[in-house]
Amino acid sequence: MTHSKLLLHICCAPDATIPWPELIGEGYDAIGYFYGGNIHPREEYEKRAEAVKILSDNIGAPVHIADVPAADWIAAVHGFENEPEGGARCAKCFRLQLDTAATYAAANGFTHLSTTLTISPHKNIVLINETGAESAKNHGLIWVARIWRKNNGFKRSVDASRAMGLYRQNYCGCIFSIRVPREVDANDDQ
């Protein structure tokens, strides 16, 4: 028995390996939504979209791969190109991704919205959940707030994505983050 129709905003397949099945296990009719307009270069977007499709097949849940023009993302972060990773540019990026997902959800009969973004130890979970809640409310949706990195969520996602052979990236995806790829600590659970 399902609670409600939930759209899960997916930033990348590895980060969805834990949230997506858990939401389904909670009874949500959880459908994936891969935004991707922030992913550069195009070849990187294609690798990540393919990995999301593979995960969708593994889980047995549908996914919508949004082919959002990169120009929309570039316009949204214009003037913030030199911000540090985790700064104001990221806040603009989260807003665009979650607003775009909320628009899609509202137009397609979803009642709930959530995101995989909070599994990363490098992302501001308070900002993400506040932004998601506002985007959901503005579109008549219920925000399902989660902190997926709790209970070793990030480490479990690393292990699960490796077990499935999913493509794992070493930067968030935006052209500006390519400059400074981060090392990822699979034990970071903060």
- Burial track 5-29 (b if 16+ CB lie within 10 A, e otherwise): ebbbbbbbbbbbbbbbbebbeeebb
User: Residue 52 is encoded by which pair of tokens?
Assistant: 């999301």
User: Residue 9 is encoded by which pair of tokens?
Assistant: 């905003």
Report pLDDT digits (tens) over 138-172: 999 999 999 999 999 999 999 999 999 999 988 88
pLDDT for the residue numbered 173:
84
Report pLDDT digits (tens) over 37-93: 999 999 999 999 999 999 999 999 999 999 888 899 999 999 999 998 889 999 999
Rounded to the nearest 5 percent, the helix, strand and coil shares of the chain are 45, 10, 40
CA distance 106 to 85: 30
Q: Angle of helix 42-59 relative to helix 153-164, nearest 10 degrees?
A: 90
